[in-house]
Amino acid sequence: MAGFFKSLLNKITNRAEIDWDDLEADLISSDLGIRMSTSIIDELRDLGREVSADDVVETTRRQIARRLPENFPPPAPRADGKPFVILVVGVNGTGKTTSSAKLGLWLHQRGHTVILAAADTFRAAAVEQLQRWGERLHLPVVKGNPNADPSSVCFHAHQKAIADRTQFLICDTAGRIHTRHNLMEELGKIRRTLAKQDETAPHLTLLVVDATTGSNALNQAKEFHKASPLDGLIVTKLDGSGKGGIAVTIHDQLGIPPRFLGTGEEPAAFSIFDKESFVKEIL
Ligand code: GDP
């Protein structure tokens, strides 16, 4: 993700004068959005002197930092011993199943017990994929019959998590956007089903967005947020051409904070969002 800004800096460093249009276009193409890019350019112009590469980095960093949330504490097991339920939602292909497994491992490595629910029943391969992850990472996976209703899979997994006193339940849910109504129905049903056994569940709803998809990710966040309140993002594929700027834009425009980051296909390529290192990484 740092690559993009590195090339931007090279461009500026090697040039006598800044091409403002070029700089603005570069900022926009890094997924920072028009509003933020314009604001960065305005601030630089307001310096009223020759602008250096350091000025660009500092101003951009400051503007990014201003638009990102402070760090959240990691999800903690509940004091009453009931499962902390995490609903993972998102469009297929974003890395939802992989991220559910990675999050499971991340919690497990912190000494917590975890159950995964394979509730993305519309994509047959997703259930098998999560099962394989479960075997590989030694995490239990609850699945339903083929074409089972996602909410029934979540219900049974929740029942098992409560009975076993498992600390975390992660539900990898369906990720279709047919229409907003459809999505709302589907996610609403899952939420109501989880609330049947614990009216406080789900405790955290995370949307998985693929950083390489730019403004598509912003649109997905808008749609899902309308259909079901989101507590945060898992931003994936930051190891690829994803620039991370989209996470800043989504928080700036919708107030949905990045909570976890995916940086590769391997289970360990996953971390909790840390503002300082995120800003450092981005440029
Ligand atoms: P889903 O359809 O949203 O459940 O997506 P999957 O979990 O099946 O992931 C889709 C593809 O993206 C798979 O090939 C994953 O290995 C890959 N993937 C997921 N997260 C990351 C990531 O952080 N970095 C990279 N490079 N690939 C990822």
pLDDT digits (tens, 9 = 90+) for 26-52: 888 888 989 999 999 999 999 988 888
CA of 236 to the centre of ligand 1 (A): 8
Token pair listed for 113: 């017990």
CA of 87 to the centre of ligand 1 (A): 17
The Cα–Cα gap between 282 and 18 comes to 21
Highest mean pLDDT among 28-32, 104-108, 178-182, 277-281: 104-108
Q: Which of 98, 136, 220 to mutate to test the pocket of ligand 1 (most atoms within 8 A of CB)?
A: 98
Q: How far is CA 107 from CA 66, 104, 243, in A?
A: 29, 5, 26
Q: 241 CB less than 6 Å from ligand 1?
A: no
Tell me, what's the pLDDT at 242?
67
The Cα–Cα gap between 166 and 279 comes to 35
pLDDT interval class at 228 (50, 70, 90): confident
Q: 237 CB less than 6 Å from ligand 1?
A: yes
CA of 99 to the centre of ligand 1 (A): 8
The Cα–Cα gap between 185 and 131 comes to 26
Question: H helices within the chain, ranges in order?
Answer: 2-13, 20-27, 33-46, 53-67, 96-109, 124-137, 150-164, 180-197, 215-227, 245-254, 275-282
Contacts 24+ apart (CB under 8 A), 147-153: 147/121, 148/121, 149/121, 149/189, 150/119, 150/120, 150/121, 150/122, 150/174, 150/186, 150/189, 150/190, 151/119, 151/189, 151/190, 151/192, 151/193, 152/193, 153/117, 153/118, 153/119, 153/121
Closest-lying ligand 1 atom to the alpha carbon of residue 263: 23
Residue 3, pLDDT > 60, answer no
Q: How far is CA 62 from CA 55, 56, 277, in A?
A: 10, 10, 13
Closest-lying ligand 1 atom to the alpha carbon of residue 236: 23
Q: What count of Cα atoms within 13 Å lies in the side-chain half-sphere of residue 245? A: 27
Sign of CA dihedral 11, 16, 19, 20: positive
Classify residue 199 by burial, with Cβ atoms within 10 Å: 0-12, 13-18, 19+.
exposed
Closest-lying ligand 1 atom to the alpha carbon of residue 101: 7
Single out the residue of 223, 220, 171 nearest to residue 197, CA to CA. 171
- For residue 160, give the 3-state DSSP assignment: helix
pLDDT interval class at 1 (50, 70, 90): very low
Contacts of 66 (CB under 8 A, 6+ apart): none
CA of 96 to the centre of ligand 1 (A): 7
Question: H helices within 68-209, ranges in order?
Answer: 96-109, 124-137, 150-164, 180-197
Mean pLDDT of the chain: 91
pLDDT interval class at 146 (50, 70, 90): confident
